[in-house]
């Protein structure tokens, strides 16, 4: 090599260090510098809620390698030969001279650092609601180590009785759990009509019900209009409908926006999402500048639309791509994302990959979907419930997305669906998927495959499904439907909807057909606990000539509304 | 319908009842009959080892629906309108007259049952070693409810001190664990050179080491030549090398063969695997006869070879296909299998999908593979180790298979890989997969993706990997290799290979390069606990001019041989 390549990376959280480390492995002789605004490097920021919630004691674990070494500038230099400069902000990118201007956060010292290739990994900044009182003491986000330290202290001290979490997205619900574990009375508020907008409403409602059962208060569809305070200290949160929620702490988790100002100031192209525009090599509009992580916009692989997708795993994957491309030239591609995500909420997990039905329809797809509820293992192995919703493109039969919530193993099913999306598989192909089966891990037909079976049955007209929400609307509108619960009387005694249903156990149905509507064209809706027996009943009634028989998908387990019992 | 279709199903375990139930849903009016030789129906036979091991008390749970109803003839009739005849053997299929001849197991009564479409789901029968003494009291298989009842009694009574499990496949290792939990001293013996032949040797060895650490004895490469007995009772097992293992119980788990005799007697085509030959619609050589489950042969989707794949999940999937085709005509396809499998062995799980490297090479593929070891979650969330081996086709870059063992979440990674095979994905495509990430579920870059990263690095020549077995061979042959352990001294004190390695921590390597071989062409092999730091070190040394630097894949965590400490 005639001369050492100079790689400068702006940002030291996730994408930046990954790009730097990969570049180092690609070129052991390159001069690689990371410039980080804060004093911490390579923070596992997705772990903040678990630190706050007391899952572990040592905050340094958020900054450690798998073998327990803190990733500080010393570590970067010794182990990787990377120069990591902390507490230093990049104030300008000088594209003509190919330098960046830096200012030290403490000393104010200004410096000029030359680069051959520059990587922008400036991350994202929290969006704060533009309402009065947002500067009161007691309002925080959970976006930095400092935030995490503050909230952990709050949790440990146990002096706060009530807190409000503003925003019911991923970080909002994780924060809700963390503070609830500390014995704090939590209310989560959101201006949107549901928690976890990546889920369809009826799936989100199941999560919300679980959060409420765990002791959290949830208020949706009601924006914060003011933070109330006395003597500069937060005393409450006021909502648009007038509700005032007294609290000593508010955690704002209303999303983030790309930190693209520096790039914009340097004249780099910025997208409508406010993310830095990059091509598939993650190269910006300046060929010598790449960008990765929460500051860029990327492509949704199903809609082909540009989106902002601030996920920790994508930041790392993008960092690896950039680390290669800054050394080898445009070589490795980052195609985009299925926006796969997951979170733990008390004893539930909730995950998604691909498009929700709402998003798919907004994107112009003619969708067909199904909700499927079942335990994630055989009963004798202590299976736990999973509710899946699978969405397909009616035109092609291709899988468009899957959502999964419940106390069971959500993660495996979302991972399976994410790989199915990656392989562009159709529902028909999923019906004969070959997943690992043994009783400690899944039912003989995995929930993911079984869900595809029911969706295929629906697509071929073998099953006419109806969602709980549609059933509820019919009940509320007093439509003349006949609701048939096909469970056994003891099950009915223990739990029931109480919406005017008739109970006839599946095993007795053949001998009690005379109890069913004389009018063979009346709309009959069958269900049971998970609607497997409901499905059998529906087929039976169709066999006996009833013409409009539907199955309420997911049965009682997917019913998101209050039950009689 | 002018006349009720008559569907007869021979076999009532997995594929048979599934086919019958699906046919019922396809045609509520068909006359459907299951004929079952034993007295039980729809047994969850994969659950037998867990019943024996005391995971649950009530044997009926193996025969229950998810809501706890035993699937007996009454249940089949009432809930599904299916006529299930138990204790009845089909002795002949009369293809010209389209009837089957049955004989009742107790009364000896003979009957003739007509069919329009016949489904053969006769399952498989255990292979017993053809050695003297195989009829002694105390020798059993674990293939039936009766076997499970017997072994559970043995486990509960705690009168047996020592048992031998013959066969170290899936059922063998599961049985080993079940009996070990009952406090019985267990030796597992196999004629094959390793446990779990679906794994490559070095992966199987990690499982074997774990089983030994849990207290089981394992003897491989040593066939049973005789069962020893006194007064008709088993007293020991004699191996080919002369070893005699005293024991009061022997469980034979040396595989199964398709129960295809009835089909063969009826003149249906039988394959080289002894499985019934079926087309992609699972139709036999007689168009009115379908077959499904452990009695058929199917296609390995990677080698396109015909194989016998007796897996419970495939039996169910095939049953569903047959249930549709007997009603609709040839409509639904079962394309074959990736032979995905998993088992739990003490605190390890071990799984595979697709081809092991051995099988891929036998099938003629030019393979490239990598072993990757890492925790399955961030350290602060209590991650547990996983060792993955990924195998790809060097010519196309396509994934051919993955194995995974360890205490971590194996099931999710095998499921992800199985879906990747289904989508015919390449390693390059896997490097940008979008899996669900949150700290309770995985590292920021999931082990499956990270393994693809390393394999890609290997395929592009960025990393030169070497397996532990190759390193061991070089050490044993006293080759002049330079072995470099790049961990810290405290790690070295706690655990080390002791095969002549030099310890230089990665962080000190840049300042201690003078300690490395002067001969820049000497073979250097770097490693650490999981060989991530080993990889960094290798790239560094290459940067400084050493020309033959390799990384020992998976590091100490994938070392299958004894360690010094």
Assess if residue B210 is contained within a domain: yes
Is the torsion defined by CA of A63, A66, A70, A72 positive or negative?
negative
Q: What angle do CA B67, A391, B22 make, to 5 degrees?
A: 45
H or E segment and range at residue A421 = helix A410-422
**β partners of residue B289:** B118
Residue ending a domain, among A398, A428, A459, is: A459
Could you say which of B437, B459, B481 is where a domain stops?
Answer: B459
Task: Tell me which chain A residue has its CA closest to the CA of residue B62.
Answer: A380
* Residue A296: CATH number of its domain: 3.50.50.60
- The model's pLDDT over B339-390, given as tens digits with 9 standing for 90+, comes to 999 999 999 999 999 999 999 999 999 999 999 999 999 999 999 999 999 9
Q: How far apart are CA A503 and CA A489, in angstroms?
A: 8
Residue B435 CA neighbour count, 13 Å, CB half: 33
**Cβ neighbours of residue B230 closer than 8 Å, sequence gap 6 or more:** none
pLDDT score at B67? 75
Q: Are residues B472 and B444 in the same domain?
A: no
| In-domain check, residue B334 | no
Which residues are registered as beta bridge partners of A548? Answer: A523
**What tokens does B402 get?**
């993955």
Task: Clarify whether residues A13 and A117 are in a common domain.
Answer: yes
A212, A279: one domain: no
- Domain membership of residue A284 (yes or no) is yes
Kindly state the DSSP code that residue A514 receives in the 8-state scheme: G
Whether A58 and A84 map to the same domain: the answer is yes
> Can you tell me the distance from the alpha carbon of B185 to that of A231, in angstroms, rounded to the nearest whole number?
72
Asked if the structure places residue A342 within a domain, the reply is: no
- Do the beta carbons of residue A76 and residue A177 sit within 8 Å? no
Distinct helix (H) and strand (E) counts, chain B: 16, 30
| Pairwise CB contact (< 8 Å): A375 & B66 | yes
Minimal CA separation from B559 to chain A, in Å: 18
Overall average pLDDT of the B120-148 stretch: 95
Judgement on whether residues A220 and A304 belong to the same structural domain of the protein: no
Are A443 and A474 in a shared domain? no
For CA atoms A508, A514, A515, A520, give the dihedral sign.
Answer: positive
Give the pLDDT of residue B69.
86
Are A234 and A149 within 8 A, CB to CB?
A: no
* pLDDT tens profile B377-388: 999 999 999 999
Q: What are phi and psi of A34, to 5 degrees?
A: -105, 130
Q: Do A441 and B62 touch (CB under 8 A)?
A: no
CATH number at residue A396: 3.30.390.30
The structure tokens listed for A248 are 């000593």
pLDDT value for A65: 83
Q: Domain ends where: B227, B254, B281? A: B254
User: How many A/B residue pairs have CB atoms within 8 Å?
Assistant: 317
Interface mutation target, options A293, A351, A439, A442, chain B, most CBs of B under 10 Å = A439
| CATH number of B479's domain | 3.40.250.10
pLDDT recorded at residue B11? 97
Q: Which residue of B has its CA nearest to A381?
A: B55
Which residue do the tokens 């300046």 mark? A286
Q: In sequence order, what are the residues at sequence separation of 6 or more whose Cβ sits closer than 8 angstroms to the Cβ of residue B339?
A: A434, B198, B300, B307, B309, B311, B352, B353, B354
pLDDT attached to residue A1: 43
Residue with tokens 């994508």: A314
What local confidence, expressed as pLDDT, does residue B65 receive?
A: 83
- Which residues sit opposite B462 in a β-bridge? none
Closest-CA distance, A246 to chain B, in angstroms, reads 31
Percent of chain B with pLDDT over 70: 100
Contact B420 A416 (CB under 8 A): no
**Which chain B positions have a beta carbon within 8 Å of A27's beta carbon?**
543
Measured distance CA(A16)–CA(A320) in Å, rounded = 9
- The burial of A361, by beta-carbon neighbours within 10 Å (0-12 exposed, 13-18 middle, 19 or more buried), is given as middle
* Alpha-carbon span A213 to B493, nearest angstrom: 50
User: Which residues of chain B are within 8 Å of residue A425 when distances are taken between CB atoms?
Assistant: 419, 422-423
The enclosing H or E element of A94 equals strand A88-94
Res. B297: pLDDT tops 60? yes
In angstroms, rounded to a whole number, what is the distance separating the alpha carbons of residues B168 and B158? 23
CA-to-CA distance for B392 and B457, rounded, in angstroms? 13
The pairing of beta strand A139-140 with beta strand A124-126: unpaired
CA–CA distances in Å: residue A130 to residues A163, A166, A226, A238, A260:
20, 13, 9, 13, 20
Nearest residue in B to A377, CA atom = B66
Integer-rounded Cα Rg, in Å, for chain B is 27
Q: Is B64 part of the contact surface with chain A (CB cutoff 8 Å)? A: yes
Domain match, A361 and A418 both: yes
Distance of CA B54 to the CA centre of its chain: 22
The answer to whether the beta carbons of residues B451 and B370 sit under 8 Å apart is yes
* Domain of residue B475, residue span: 465-558
Test A25 with B462 for CB contact under 8 angstroms.
Answer: yes
Question: Which residues of chain B make contact with A79, given a CB cutoff of 8 A?
Answer: 506-507, 533, 536
Task: Evaluate if residue B98 carries a pLDDT over 90.
Answer: yes
Residue A134 included in any domain: no
Q: Which residues contact B94 (CB under 8 A, 6 or more apart)?
A: B100, B101, B112, B266
Tell me the C-alpha distance between B507 and B489, whole Å.
12
Q: Are B266 and B93 in contact (CB under 8 A)?
A: yes
Give all strands of the β-sheet with B224-230 in edge-to-edge order: B224-230, B233-239, B244-246
Half-sphere exposure in the Cβ direction for A449 (13 Å, CA): 23
What is the domain count for chain A?
4
DSSP H or E segment with residue A314: helix A312-328
Residue B132 maps to a domain: no
State the pLDDT at residue A2: 47
Tell me the per-residue pLDDT of A9-47, one tens digit each, with 9 for 90 and over: 999 999 999 999 999 999 999 999 999 999 999 989 999
pLDDT at A143: 92
Answer for the pair B461, B548: CB distance below 8 angstroms, yes or no: no
Can you tell me whether residue A130 is helix, strand or coil?
Answer: coil
- How far is residue A344's CA from residue B440's CA, in Å, rounded to a whole number? 7
Please determine, for residue B1, whether its predicted confidence score (pLDDT) is greater than 80: no
Of the candidates B424, B422, B431, B384, the residue with the CA atom closest to the CA atom of residue B404: B384
**In angstroms, how far is CA B98 from the centroid of its own chain?**
38
H-run or E-run covering B323: helix B312-328
Same domain, A21 and A115: yes
Residues 364-403, chain B: which have Cβ within 8 Å of A? Answer: 374-375, 378-381, 383
- My answer on whether B228 and B161 are in the same domain is yes
Question: What angle do the packed helices B170-181 and B145-157 form, to 10 degrees?
Answer: 30
Tokens standing for residue A365: 């797809």
Residues A11 and A120 in one domain: yes
* Mean pLDDT for chain B overall: 96
Report the SS3 class of residue B23. Answer: helix
State the Rg of chain A over Cα: 27
Strands (E), A259-347: 289-291, 298-299, 306-307, 341-345
Residue B333 lies in a domain: no
CA–CA dist A341, B394 (Å, integer): 32
| CB of B302 closer than 8 Å to CB of B336 | no
- A433 contact residues in B (CB cutoff 8 A): 418-419, 422
Contacts of B28 in chain A (CB under 8 A): 539-540, 542-544
Q: CA nearest A59 in B: which residue?
A: B380
Helix axes A447-459, A410-422, angle to 10 degrees: 60
Rounded Cα distance between B107 and B87, Å, is: 10
In sequence order, what DSSP letters do the residues of A189-237 get, joined into one string? E-SSSSS-TTS-HHHHHHHHHHHHHTT-EEE-S--EEEEEEETTEEEEE
**List of chain A residues with pLDDT < 70:** 1-2
C-beta separation of A25 from B539 below 8 A: yes
Instruction: Give the pLDDT mean for B163-175.
Output: 96
Question: Would you say residue A248 lies in a domain?
Answer: yes
Query: Residue A553: what pLDDT?
Result: 97
Distance from CA of B338 to the nearest CA of A (A): 6
Q: How far is CA B355 from CA A52, A97, B345, B403, in A?
A: 44, 54, 21, 9
From B75, B422, B436, residue closest to A351, measured CB to CB = B436
Q: ipTM, 2 decimals?
A: 0.97
The confidence score (pLDDT) of residue A69 equals 86
B463-502 residues touching A, CB cutoff 8 A = 487-488, 491
Provide CB contacts within 8 A for B313, sequence distance 6+.
Answer: A434, A435, A437, A444, A445, A446
Residue of B nearest to A29 (CA): B543
Contact B59, B31 (CB under 8 A): no
Mutate to test the interface with B, among A345, A430, A432 (most CBs of B within 10 A): A432
Q: Are residues B445 and B469 in the same domain?
A: no
Nearest to A380 among B56, B170, B508 (CB): B56
**Looking at the structure, do residues A56 and A155 belong to the same domain, yes or no?**
no
Cα distance between residue B178 and residue A383, in whole Å: 20
């Amino acid at each position: 090599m005639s001369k050492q390549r100079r790689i400068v990376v702006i940002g030291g959280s996730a994408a930046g260090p990954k790009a730097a480390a990969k570049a180092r492995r690609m070129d052991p002789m390159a001069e690689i510098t990371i410039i980080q605004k804060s004093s911490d490097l390579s923070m596992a920021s997705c772990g903040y809620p678990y630190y706050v919630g007391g899952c572990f004691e040592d905050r340094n674990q958020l900054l450690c390698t798998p073998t327990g070494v803190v990733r500080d500038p010393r570590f970067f230099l010794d182990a990787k030969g990377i120069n990591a400069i902390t507490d230093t902000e990049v104030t300008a990118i000088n594209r003509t001279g190919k330098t960046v201007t830096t200012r030290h956060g403490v000393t104010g010292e200004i410096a000029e650092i030359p680069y051959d290739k520059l990587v922008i990994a400036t991350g994202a900044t929290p969006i704060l609601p533009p309402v009065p009182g947002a500067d009161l003491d007691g309002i925080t986000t959970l976006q930095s180590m400092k935030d995490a330290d503050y909230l952990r202290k709050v949790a440990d001290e146990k002096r706060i009785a009530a807190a409000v979490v503003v925003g019911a997205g991923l970080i909002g619900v994780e924060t809700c759990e963390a503070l609830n574990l500390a014995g704090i009375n939590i209310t989560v508020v959101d201006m949107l009509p549901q928690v976890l907008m990546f889920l369809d409403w009826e799936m989100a409602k199941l999560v919300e019900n679980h959060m409420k059962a765990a002791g959290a208060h949830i208020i949706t569809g009601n924006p914060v209009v003011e933070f109330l305070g006395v003597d500069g200290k937060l005393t409450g949160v006021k909502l648009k409908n007038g509700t005032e929620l007294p609290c000593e702490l508010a955690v704002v988790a209303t999303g983030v926006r790309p930190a693209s100002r520096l790039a914009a100031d340097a004249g780099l192209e910025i997208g409508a999402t406010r993310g830095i525009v990059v091509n598939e090599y993650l190269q910006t509009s300046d060929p010598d500048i790449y960008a990765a992580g929460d500051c860029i916009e990327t492509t949704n692989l199903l809609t082909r639309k540009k989106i902002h997708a601030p996920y920790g795993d994508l930041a790392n994957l993008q960092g690896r791509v950039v680390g290669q491309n800054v050394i080898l030239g445009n070589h490795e591609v980052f195609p985009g994302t299925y926006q796969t995500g997951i979170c733990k909420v008390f004893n539930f997990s909730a995950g998604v990959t691909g498009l929700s039905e709402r998003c798919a329809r907004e994107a112009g797809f003619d969708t067909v979907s199904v909700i499927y509820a079942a335990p994630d293992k055989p009963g004798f192995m202590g299976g736990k419930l999973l509710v899946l919703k699978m969405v397909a493109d009616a035109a092609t039969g291709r899988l468009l997305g899957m959502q999964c919530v419940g106390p069971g193993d959500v993660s495996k099913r979302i991972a399976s669906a994410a790989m199915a999306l990656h392989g562009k598989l159709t529902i028909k192909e999923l019906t004969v998927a070959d997943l690992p089966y043994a009783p400690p891990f899944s039912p003989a037909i995995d929930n993911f495959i079984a869900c595809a079976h029911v969706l295929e049955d629906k697509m071929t007209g073998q099953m006419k499904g109806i969602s709980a929400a549609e059933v509820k609307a019919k009940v509320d509108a007093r439509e003349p439907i006949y609701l048939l619960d096909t469970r056994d009387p003891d099950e009915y005694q223990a739990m029931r909807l109480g919406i005017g249903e008739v109970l006839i156990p599946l095993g007795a149905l053949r001998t009690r057909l005379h109890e069913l509507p004389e009018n063979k064209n009346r709309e009959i809706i069958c269900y049971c606990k998970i609607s497997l027996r409901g499905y059998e009943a529906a087929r039976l009634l169709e066999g006996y000539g009833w013409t409009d028989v539907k199955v309420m998908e997911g049965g009682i387990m997917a019913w998101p509304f209050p039950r009689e019992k």
